[in-house]
Structure 1
Amino acid sequence: MKEILKSHTILYAEDDKAIQIHTEEYLKRYFHTVYVASDGKEALSLYKQYAPDVMMLDIQMPYIDGLEVARHIRKNNQTAPIVIFTAFTDTPRLIEATELNLSKYLVKPVALTAFKEALLKISQQLEHINNTEIIFENGYKWHTQKAILTQDNRQIFLTEKEKTLLALLVKNHYQCVSFEEIMAQVWEDDFDAEISIQSVKFQVSMLRKKLPKDSIVNIYAKGYKLILS
C-alpha cells in the first residue's frame, strides 16, 4: 500500500487546525506531496493548481462545503479517489454523498483502523487506475503502467520526455496543464537547464505528431489539455 501511495499526491481539506496538523503529518508518511486547505475555496484553488491524485475533504468547511468541492471535482474527474470526513449521520446528507462516487466516508472522530482501511482502498483504486489502458481515436492506446503508446498494437517510439509529458497530460485529461507544471515535471532532472515556454511548445509539437489529430489542445497563455475519444 505505502509503495503505491508514495508516488501520488493528495489534497487534504480540514478547517479544524488541531485535526489538520495531526492528520497532515500522518498523511506525509504515505504520500509524495500533501496539499493542505483550511476551507473549501482554498481546496478548489489547490485542486485547480495542482490536480492532486487523491482528495480527503471535511464535509463542513467555510465558504464551500466538502460535498460541493467534490461535486466540482467530479465534473472533470470521475475516477480520482475522494474521501469525505463527516460528523453527519442523517440520511439525506449521506445519500447526497453517495451520488459522488466516493471512495469512502469517515464519521468523526475517525478511528485509526478506519483511516488505514480508507488508505488501503485508495491504494487499490490508484493501482487499478494506473493499470488502465487509455483509448484514443484510430486505434491508439496509452498503456499507463508500461508507459507505452501503440497504434493497432504496433508500438510507437517515444522519448523519455515525451513519455513523461504524455503521462502528465493523461493524468490530467480534460484539464489544463500549465506551462509551469510541464516544465517542473518533464524537465525535473534538468536542474541547471534554462527551460522556456518555447521548449515546452517544441516538446508538445513533437508529441502531437505521434498522436491522433487534435488530441492535444492549446489553452491560450496557460498550457495544454488532452482530449480523448
Structure 2
Amino acid sequence: MKTFINNDHILACMTMKDHTKLEDNNMALHSCNNEANIIQNRKRLATEIGASIDDFVFPTQTHSANFYKVTEDDKGRGAMTLDDAIANTDALYTFEPNIVLCSFSADCVPVLFYHETANVIGAIHSGWRGTIQEIAKKLFQHLIEQENCSVNGFRIIIGPAICQEKFEVDEDVASQFRELGYAEEWIYFHQEKNKYFIDNQQTIIKQLQLIGIKQHQIMVDDTCTFKHEAGFSHRRDKEKGRHMAFIRRSK
C-alpha cells in the first residue's frame, strides 16, 4: 500500500497489487472473481487503519463528471454490496470526520484531496473520459463557488496511473483532448506507430491550475500502473482487479 499522508488529521493511501493477498489485493466488487474475497480484503484493510468496514463509502463509477456530497447517513454504502453504492458518480466529498471516501482505478487517475481550513476531503476517479469532461475541475469549482472553500487551502494528491509512454490512443481520443484547448502540450504523436500518447495526469494538473490551484499544492506519484509490477493495469492485462485510493479525516 502506498501511504501519501498519515498524520493526526489526514490519512490518504492507495492499495496496490499484492500477490500474498486474496485476488492480489483486489478491492473492487465490480471487477472480481469472488465477492467474498473482496469483502475480506476490505475488512482486513479497515482493521489495519483502525476503522470499521461500515466507515467506508464506495461509488458506482461510470466515467462521468458527476460528484456527490457524502454525509453521516451514507456510511457503509457500497461496503458489502454493489446494490447500495453511490450510483453513477465518479467523485465523492465530505465535511464529516471519520468517513473513508474511496475511488477505484486500474490505469485511470485517482485524485485525493483535503482542505487545510474547510475540513473537506474528497476522492476523484478521472479516467480519460472523466478528464475530457473535466470532472476534477468541475468539483473544485463547486467547492470554491458553492461550498465557500478558499482555493489556496486545497492539498491534492495525484495517484499512480498509466503513464504517457503506455497510454496509446487513436485520433478519436486525441481530438477530444485537443478540444479542451489546453492539453496539446501533453499529446505526443508517434509517426511510425500512427498513434497518439497522452499524459492524463498532467492534463488534470493543468485543469487544476486553470482554476487557481498552484503547483506547490499538488503532490504527484508518477508510478506507472502499466509498467509497475504492483500495478493493476486494465490495458496491460485485460483482467479483473482494481486499486483503491482512499482518504479519511479524523476529528
What TM-score comes out, normalization by structure 2 length?
0.30
Query: Which protein has the larger Cα radius of gyration, Structure 1 or Structure 2?
Result: 1
Q: Relative contact order, CA 8 A, sep 6+: which one is greater? A: 2
Structure 1 or 2: more strand by fraction: 2
